Structure 1
Amino acid sequence: MKWAEISIQTTHEAAETVANIFHELGSSGVVIEDPELVNSYLTSGVWDYSDIEQESNTEIVTVKAYLPVDDQLDEKLRNFEEEFQQISSRGMDKGIGDMRCREVQEEDWASSWKEFFHPIKVGQYIVIKPSWEEYKAASDDLVIELDPGMAFGTGTHQTTAMCCRALEEVVKPGCLVFDVGTGSGILSIAAAKLGAASVQAVDLDSVAVRVAAENVAINQVEHVVKVAQGDLLTGVTGKADIVIANIIADVVIKLIVDIPARLKENGIFIASGIISERLSDVAAVMLEHNLLVDKVIEEGGWVAVIARKGGC
């Protein structure tokens, strides 16, 4: 399958807004290349080896999105350019706006980044291991074997790692979990390995649904995790003990309206993919909808929020 890789240079301030524009256009996935984040990985020892040099200019953030090459692509690109030009009217610095577009084959993209993806322990127990690498597990490790393909999720980003640590805190044996926007299925698999009895994983993108189902099978948790295509909570049934959404702030805010009705009493909502500057916006909407913030986890300019459904 052919994809169009659209990349645009913007600022830290506008990166999430740009990502949201791509999301609204139906992008299969968005990659934010943040030089500050790359530098932090290079100095932290997360990567065993890398020949990437530290970036000296950390002000320019590159946002990349992947759209299928079809008869709708030209219109989507025009819509993106219009929306991008409007960012300044919202009081944000949109940056230089240098945009490039190139065609990529799915198999080429899916293999090009593998040299940078190595086993990593993201929580007290959870280890993300690429399917093509060896890892000697400790006795208490919960190893998730992963082949993300085009589903955009390796577990190495702070937002996913924070979600894994949040799940380690709140998942109890026998609980029901909804994973909204599952991507490559990491968080659903983590919940299953932590003892959840049932996990409903949904994603709007058919590629993510396929890849997540494959990763669920690789990790032998098909009896717990069911993957389906759906738009946020429209893809799940019943009420959950835990709902988790690692998306972006604007989508989380839209989702919050429907969360209380889909949580059991004292149920927990974990939201991530939120830049620190948007925490107050998300927390305010949570409060409006009777979700009480229990804990905020912050790392590298990103936050994850653990909130609990309050009483009537």
Structure 2
Amino acid sequence: MNWNEISVSTTTQATEIISNIFIEIGSKGVMIEDPSDFYYQTKDELAWDYIEKEVFDYGHEDVKIIGYFSQEEDIEQKINDLKERLSKLGDIGVELGTLEISKKIIYQKNWENEWKKYFKTQKISKNIVIKPSWENYEKQADEKIIEIDPGMAFGTGTHETTKMCINAIEKYIKSEDILIDIGCGSGILSIAGAILGAKKVIAVDLDKLAVKISKENVELNNYQDIIEVRHGNLTDVITEKADIIVANIIADAIVMLSENIKDFMKEDAYFISSGIINEKADYVKENLIKNGFEIIEHNNDKEWNCIVAKVNKTDV
């Protein structure tokens, strides 16, 4: 099966907004090409293998948000829907860039394999190393290896938001904890929780493809006995209470979760949230506090933020 690809040229600041629009108009996956991600990443002091800049040369300086649609869909109608949504953004206080739209056909074989050249083994926390399944790597002392095949439309684990989440899990997790991963994507955070000592991990995602890929990665790392991957909404498929809940999604979804996520948290549990752009960090914190949380930690990496919170006992 081949795919129609639509891309929008924008800025890092508008990544979350444009990505949401693609999902809303029915994209089967969203890919972000942000050259600054890779250029900064090669300077990361935790990077195991520095990559030459040329490897990450996309041939453009703009951020491109790319959506994928089946060839059975009316691609011109999708472009019109996209243009209409973009035209309504107006002045939102974020630089949007050119918003230039382009399209092309992507052949299945190319889509499945071409992106792999951008994914290299990375050490992303004190102990965690993320390794693509097709690469060889010699484990060093005290390192814990997560082997990942992220599939065509999910993260490799080297993005700032994922790194901050894993560092937070590593800092706060205790042996025998229960962890819930909301919006599990390729399953990286769930596997990190298991490898760092969680007794049980529940991974949840609305996307059936994410559930499929997460299950495959759980099996690849041999954590089937600890990690259970479920398809659906949090409130529909979970009755358990967790010691740690992690949600690496988007700011607006985190704010919505903050209204009732306490129902799924044990006493003294941590809520680790990321996927939050700089412009929305205060907005998320304000809503967490309003909904009865105490901010424990706020970390920032370039355009992205990770907030760790606990239920404020004075509000219980």
TM, length-normalised to structure 2: 0.90
> Which of 234, 237, 261 matches 1:235?
237
Aligned counterparts of 1:170 and 1:216: Cα–Cα separation in 2:
22
Contact 2:31 2:153 (8 Å CA) reproduced: no
Which residue does 1:6 correspond to in 2? 6
Q: CA deviation at 1:104?
A: 2.5
Q: CA deviation at 1:124?
A: 0.6
Contact 2:297 2:309 (8 Å CA) reproduced: yes
Give the letter aligned to residue 140 of structure 2. Answer: A
Q: CA deviation at 1:105?
A: 4.1
Which residue does 1:19 correspond to in 2? 19
- 3-state SS of paired residue (1:84): helix
Query: What number of residue pairs does the alignment pair up?
Result: 311
Contact 1:182 1:188 (8 Å CA) reproduced: yes
Aligned counterparts of 1:26 and 1:171: Cα–Cα separation in 2:
36
1:57–1:114 CA distance, 2 compared to 1 (3 A): closer
Aligned counterparts of 2:5 and 2:190: Cα–Cα separation in 1:
27
Q: CA deviation at 1:308?
A: 0.7
Aligned counterparts of 1:268 and 1:102: Cα–Cα separation in 2:
44
Contact 2:244 2:269 (8 Å CA) reproduced: yes
- 3-state SS of paired residue (1:150): coil
Q: CA deviation at 1:86?
A: 0.9
Q: CA deviation at 1:255?
A: 1.9
Aligned counterparts of 1:258 and 1:87: Cα–Cα separation in 2:
29
Aligned counterparts of 1:78 and 1:255: Cα–Cα separation in 2:
32
Which residue does 1:41 correspond to in 2? 41
1:142 counterpart = 2:144: yes
1:299–1:93 CA distance, 2 compared to 1 (3 A): closer
1:30–1:235 CA distance, 2 compared to 1 (3 A): farther
Unaligned residue ranges in structure 2 (runs of 5+): none
Aligned counterparts of 1:297 and 1:70: Cα–Cα separation in 2:
43
Q: CA deviation at 1:40?
A: 1.1
- 3-state SS of paired residue (1:127): strand
Report matched runs for 1:292-307 at 5 Å: 292-307=294-309
Aligned counterparts of 1:221 and 1:151: Cα–Cα separation in 2:
22
Aligned counterparts of 2:72 and 2:91: Cα–Cα separation in 1:
31
Q: CA deviation at 1:227?
A: 0.9
Which residue does 2:30 correspond to in 1? 30
- 3-state SS of paired residue (1:166): helix
- 3-state SS of paired residue (2:247): strand
1:143–1:99 CA distance, 2 compared to 1 (3 A): same
Q: CA deviation at 1:118?
A: 1.2
Q: CA deviation at 1:238?
A: 1.9
Which residue does 1:249 correspond to in 2? 251
Which residue does 2:199 correspond to in 1? 197
Which residue does 2:310 correspond to in 1? 308
Aligned counterparts of 2:219 and 2:56: Cα–Cα separation in 1:
37
- 3-state SS of paired residue (1:123): coil
Q: CA deviation at 1:110?
A: 2.5
1:255–1:22 CA distance, 2 compared to 1 (3 A): farther
TM, length-normalised to structure 1: 0.91
1:231–1:95 CA distance, 2 compared to 1 (3 A): same
Q: CA deviation at 1:18?
A: 0.9
Contact 2:181 2:204 (8 Å CA) reproduced: yes
Aligned counterparts of 1:150 and 1:250: Cα–Cα separation in 2:
25
Aligned counterparts of 2:265 and 2:144: Cα–Cα separation in 1:
27
Contact 2:56 2:118 (8 Å CA) reproduced: no
Contact 1:266 1:310 (8 Å CA) reproduced: no
- 3-state SS of paired residue (1:113): helix
Aligned counterparts of 1:287 and 1:49: Cα–Cα separation in 2:
41
Once superposed, what is the RMSD of the aligned Cα atoms?
2.3
Which residue does 1:114 correspond to in 2? 116
Which residue does 2:162 correspond to in 1? 160
Aligned counterparts of 2:211 and 2:269: Cα–Cα separation in 1:
26
1:99 counterpart = 2:101: yes
Report matched runs for 1:151-300 at 5 Å: 151-300=153-302
Aligned counterparts of 1:106 and 1:170: Cα–Cα separation in 2:
41
Q: CA deviation at 1:85?
A: 0.9
Give the letter aligned to residue 308 of structure 2. Answer: I
Aligned counterparts of 2:59 and 2:78: Cα–Cα separation in 1:
33
Identity %: 37
Contact 1:150 1:208 (8 Å CA) reproduced: no
Q: CA deviation at 1:72?
A: 7.0
